[in-house]
């Protein structure tokens, strides 16, 4: 089981700060309400969770947000076992009974080593590459170079999305190099000649090259970008979801945090690297 790294961010309201000031004794005042949001995010959605938490400020109460990270299987298990937990993920099984609400949309980018020059790949080509049927880049229009498949481990949300949108019933090759996090995917692909993988578009940096994708050889290849994810022309997209056993109660700090995420300032943070709810 993956060990989760926990980060707790405490937001002190003005009332809490004022209670620590020294001066003439007065009649006891109301103690600020302490509210606690326990949020477990998948490693692909955790960077956005951190950005949102760090930007959120309440002025009327003490609000504690505990953020932990794990793969989707661990997030799902925790949320199913403890109704106090909320999860953030980019994958939710069709048969799931969890309450879910969207906060944005991401793209699943196909990435390769920066020295690998490819014009595009089709969905059928991706299936043959990731299943291990094709082992050299020259077979799909690339250089004479062995293909190194890099994949997230079973239970990761991005892997589940990739299997749903691309692989269908075909399994990912058993010889694939497994990466335990989104950042490790980028590290491995950027350092391995001939490597290919998939990753959240919002997590990308200039260490890897992004491959345009087409549904078939007759289709126009599309490169993932904020505009192509927003206009939905890029085919490999995934929602960013908050999940829990039940919807948070209205007029509570937890509920108000999620409302903030879905509106104004929260959506301005989302749109920096992801597609917002209302472009």
Asked if residue 175 lies in contact with residue 162, where contact means CB atoms within 8 angstroms, the answer is: no
Nearest to 76 by CA among 171, 154, 165, 193: 154
Query: What would the pLDDT profile of 134-187 be if each residue is shown by its tens digit?
Result: 999 999 999 999 999 999 999 999 999 999 999 998 999 999 999 999 999 999
Query: What would the pLDDT profile of 244-259 be if each residue is shown by its tens digit?
Result: 999 999 999 999 999 9
Give residue 62's pLDDT: 83
Round to whole Å and give the CA distance between 226 and 109. Answer: 12
Give me the domains of the chain, ranges plus CATH numbers: 6-106+240-270 (3.40.190.10), 107-237 (3.40.190.10)
Give residue 4's pLDDT: 32
Which residue numbers in the chain have pLDDT < 70? Answer: 1-33, 60-61
Give residue 195's pLDDT: 98
Give residue 22's pLDDT: 36
Give residue 57's pLDDT: 84
Give residue 32's pLDDT: 59
Give residue 61's pLDDT: 66
**Stated pTM of the model:** 0.86
């Amino acid at each position: 089981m993956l060990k989760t790294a926990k980060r707790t961010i405490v937001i002190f309201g003005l009332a809490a700060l004022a209670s620590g000031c020294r001066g003439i004794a007065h009649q006891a005042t109301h103690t600020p309400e302490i509210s606690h949001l326990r949020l477990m995010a998948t490693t692909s959605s955790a960077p956005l969770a951190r950005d949102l938490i760090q930007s959120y400020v309440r002025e009327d109460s003490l609000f504690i947000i505990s953020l932990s990270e794990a793969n989707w299987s661990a997030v799902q298990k925790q949320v199913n076992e403890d109704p106090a937990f909320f999860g953030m993920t980019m994958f939710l099984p069709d048969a799931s009974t969890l309450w879910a609400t969207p906060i944005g949309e991401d793209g699943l980018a196909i990435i390769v080593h920066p020295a690998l020059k490819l014009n595009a790949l089709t969905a059928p080509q991706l299936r043959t590459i990731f299943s291990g049927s094709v082992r050299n880049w020259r077979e799909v229009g690339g250089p004479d170079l062995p293909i190194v498949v890099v994949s997230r481990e079973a239970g990761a949300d991005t892997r589940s999305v990739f299997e749903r949108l691309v692989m269908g019933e075909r399994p990912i090759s058993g010889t694939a190099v497994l990466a335990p996090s989104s950042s490790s995917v980028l590290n491995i692909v950027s350092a391995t000649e001939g490597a290919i993988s998939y990753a959240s578009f919002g997590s990308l940096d200039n260490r890897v090259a992004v491959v345009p994708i087409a549904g078939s050889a007759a289709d126009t290849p599309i490169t993932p970008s904020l505009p192509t994810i927003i206009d939905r022309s890029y085919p490999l997209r995934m929602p960013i979801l908050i999940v829990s056993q039940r919807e948070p109660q209205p007029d509570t700090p937890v509920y108000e945090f999620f409302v903030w995420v879905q509106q104004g300032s929260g959506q301005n943070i989302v749109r920096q690297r992801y597609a917002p709810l209302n472009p």
